[in-house]
Chain A
Amino acid sequence: MTTIDATPATNKSPSPTNPRRRVYLPHTKYIPILATLTLLLIMYFTGVANYENFGQPSVVVNLFRDNAVLIVVAVGMTFVIITGGIDLSVGAVISMTTTLTATLLQAGWPPLVVLPTVLLLGSLLGMGMGAVIHYFKVEPFIATLAGLFLARGIALFINQSSIPIRDKLWKALSEYRIVLADGVVTKITSVTAVVVVLIAAAVLAWTRFGRNVYAIGGNADSALLMGLPVGRTKIAVYTLSGFCAALGGVLFSINSTSGWALQGQGLELDAIAACVIGGVLLTGGSGYVFGSLLGVMVYGLIQTIITFQGDLNAAWTRIIVGLLLFGFIVLQRVVTRRAR
């Protein structure tokens, strides 16, 4: 991070024939995120041009409502990936949380006890995985894969079928509408997601913890030699991801007022893809929370376009999602490569 700051002056010598070019060149570290933003806008306006009602503000607002869970999970994933790790357990933690929430509420637990309990459990699972990764030097991919099996195993053990939630608070939260403007309403879940993004972005950018996360991703050995708390930060990052996944599960249970053990299958890959689309490098050390948010928006916009298209069957939906993803990633690759 800090090393990059010195590079732009030297790595791009201003060409004498076209001195103006240099003026418009953005900072190198912002190029991936700007490329994503540009392509996202192009995609959005293509949608506006092609489909009726696509330009309405509710389409954008609904992006946050429909993808609130993915946004929250991707935020936690961003921290993990920046340290150079990966967290495959998030989808399973969501299923565990929804199942547990529904079961506890059905058993008559007060909702204000259930909420902290499930969030704590998700964080504890994340902390456990982080501890295994740090103290026992197990690869993150494998430790969190085991976490995936464990969390989904617990969820399936509790209940294999969908459990309805009849709790008053959950119902109220689910039905509560926030009016942003005339005809533009949103739900409590999307507000939560936005708040999580803002807090996480601030933490990553302006706190000592955020700096440590970047330092570990850049080079864990150097970070250790510098005297940074590598172990503590690593464990904290997985705890954070576990917390975000549990929060995502709570949002899921509010959205659907039910809990199901097969919920959130494959969501971990969506979250990872969203981070990568948003310019977070899987090798660690570089990326932004807002980048991951843009990545989720790309995913959501692809889904929205498919919904507006309307006449696609399941097979074509998958293929179009794949093709759009492909087009997006290749374009992003071309843009970032040329800019460098």
Chain B
Amino acid sequence: MTIVKHRLFWPSVILVALLVVNIFTANQFITVRDGHLFGVLPDILRGSAPLLLVALGMTLVIATGGIDLSVGAVMAISGAVACLLIKDLSNQNSVGSVLLIMAIAIGASLVLGLWNGTLVAVVGIQPIIATLILMVAGRGVAQLVTDGQIINVQSSPYATIATGHFLAVPVAFLIAIAAVVLTVLLTRRTALGLLLESVGGSPTASRLAGIRSRRITIMVYVVSGGLAGLAGLIYSANIKSADSISAGNLIELDAILAVVIGGTALIGGRFSIAGTVIGAILIQALQVTVVAVGVPSKATLLFKAVIVVALCLSQSATFRQKVFGRFRPSRPAVPAEVPA
């Protein structure tokens, strides 16, 4: 009874259902080839890394009651900066230089996050508008960096972060999971998570209680910018080029969707990182499944919409009560089985 009522129950059910569909439709769900994991499941995990990173940052921003629309633009800028610098290297395969360049790109993303945070916390602009500015201008900056071209790079260390394997597991997924674990430790093993939630609950009340709410607000946007930058690196490493138009296009909506599927309320004040992880993987699994089950390309979005509508409704306690409540008028011990 209680497990059905858990807010992550229905998203998990849908995720498992999607994976089960893939077991039957894909010719290889998960196998070991050349010492690496291959198949649909590792593909889903690898592909979900950028969305997972972006959604992780978004979770923290939303926990403080804000929203970050600029993540897609930040992804484009970070990828553009990295590819531009790597292209000019004399030896594109030098691990040290590539790491340094990645650090520069993430540094740039942190600065962009700082800009967002300053607009929201210091100037006092509403988050959706403050980050909209960078969303519009940022893609222009990325186009300026790449000079409107698509920059191709041939760097094997750079490609590793997207397509490589470490201990048979995709590196991209490991990076994302490392970021998740670090965030969980920082927010749930220290007081930081509590402070975030209190700022989301009421910035004024938390300031009066002695919390530096302004500093915390700036910090979440900086973190969100940095994580979006990392996601941009993985995205551009995956296609071995910087595409300032399509990198991270509309990812902000998917990220917000992932966060909300995971049970974080948009009004702020509470957040669930585990929920965001499930949400992000679910969205990626959905995208893979749509192709795998042979839905024609013109219907993919419609299919996605139907699943999203089902998810939204399944998450609404009122909906479950109104629809499924009728099937069990006298509270039976075993909950009625409901097709997912």
Contact = CB atoms under 8 A, between A and B. Distances in A.
Contact of B299 (A88, A150, A153, A282): A153
B244 to A, nearest CB: 8
B304 A149 contact: yes
B298 A315 contact: no
A143 B308 CA distance: 9
Contacts of B148: 313-315
B205 interface: no
A315 B313 contact: no
Given A145-B257, A272-B128, A318 B305 contact: no
A318 B245 CA distance: 12
A317 B139 CA distance: 10
B115 to A, nearest CB: 10
A217 B291 CA distance: 42
- How big is the A interface, by class? 35 or more
A314 B130 CA distance: 22
Contact of B132 (A273, A315, A316, A317): A273
Interface string A129-147: 0001001111101110110
Is the contact region of chain B dominated by helix, strand, or loop, or is it mixed? helix
Interface residues of B, number: 47
B242 to A, nearest CB: 14
A153 B133 contact: no
A322 B140 contact: yes
A313 B137 CA distance: 13
Interface in B67-88: 69
Contacts of B132: 269, 272-273, 325
B331 interface: no
Contact of B143 (A149, A152, A315): A315
Given A136-B313, A273-B132, 11 more contacts: A132-B312, A139-B260, A139-B265, A139-B266, A150-B305, A153-B303, A156-B300, A276-B128, A315-B141, A333-B123, A337-B124
4 nearest A-B residue pairs (beta carbon): A322-B137, A318-B140, A153-B302, A149-B305
Interface of B: 69, 123-126, 128-130, 132-141, 143-144, 148, 253, 256-257, 260, 265-266, 297-306, 308-309, 312-313, 315-319, 322
Interface of A: 88, 132, 135-139, 141-143, 145-146, 148-150, 152-154, 156-157, 160, 269, 272-273, 276-277, 282, 313-319, 321-323, 325-326, 329-330, 333, 337
